[in-house]
Amino acid sequence: MIAKYYFRSLVTNKFLWFWGGFFSFMWAALGAFVMDSSFLTPLTAMSITSTWYALIALISFSSVSVTLAISMAWSTNALIFSFKFTKLSRTRYLLDLLIAWIFVSAFLIFIGIIFTASMFYLSSKVDVFPTYLSFLKTFGIAILVGVFFMLIAVLLVLLVISYSNVKIIQFLSFVPMILVFSLSYLMIYYSPPELLIYLSPWNSGPSLIQAAFINQQPINSFASSHPENLSWSPLLISLVLWELILFAIDIYIFRRIKPQDPEAMRQI
């Protein structure tokens, strides 16, 4: 089973733990200790903590997706050989990659929730830890959001190694993170249209995670004092549909990947 080897490769990658772990948790510490906690009520503290974790989770997923993208680009020629001369199928490879990603994400999510809540508890002296049920809901939804980032990272890699120059993978691999800091962070400064929240996983993801953390309805803005409530079902259905579509596209483009020049791959 390739999943265990890919899992071992991911967990031993120092860049993954720096960007997906340390870099993301640094944002949690900054968010907790930079803000003025003297005015916080228990409800406000819980809302801020949940919002901050929702955004940190996306930063973590987008950071790990950079590592995944570059790792896949390095494996291009080996994958072509494996698909042609072994029993490994494209669907099996993508499913095994998905399993490895879920295990790595699960660890980052578990530590991320505990660390973020701990930082905000230390700064505000208010109990901001989610309840057991909220923890499980947050964990499950964050896994689902993480799967989207994995599939979009795979798509970007496949587009490059199938239709373009592998050297641009370093730039394209940062696209998910760029969209996190533009679309997702938009929700803490502005009230985006409801349609954008429902259609964009970069917006529906943090809305769902934040709602699960505090066990309330998803909202369209973290900045507004009177945000509009959104419906759970359409948000979840939209996210799942995105993932099914991306999975199908990834499988299709896998058939078109081309051998890459080893010298070009050394430069990424």
- Say how far apart CA 247 and CA 237 lie, in whole Å: 15
Name the average pLDDT for the chain. Answer: 84
**Chain segment 215-255, per-residue pLDDT in tens:** 999 998 887 778 889 999 999 999 999 999 999 999 999 88
Q: What is the mean pLDDT of residues 148-173?
A: 83
Measured CA angle at 148 (ends 76, 143), to 5 deg: 115
The model's confidence at residue 4, banded by pLDDT at 50, 70 and 90, is low
> What's the pTM value of the predicted model, to 2 decimals?
0.89
Measured CA angle at 47 (ends 46, 49), to 5 deg: 65
- The more confidently predicted of residues 79 and 261 is 79
Q: What is the mean pLDDT of residues 142-166?
A: 88
The model's confidence at residue 131, banded by pLDDT at 50, 70 and 90, is very high
Least Cα distance to 190 among 203, 172, 174, 175 occurs for: 203
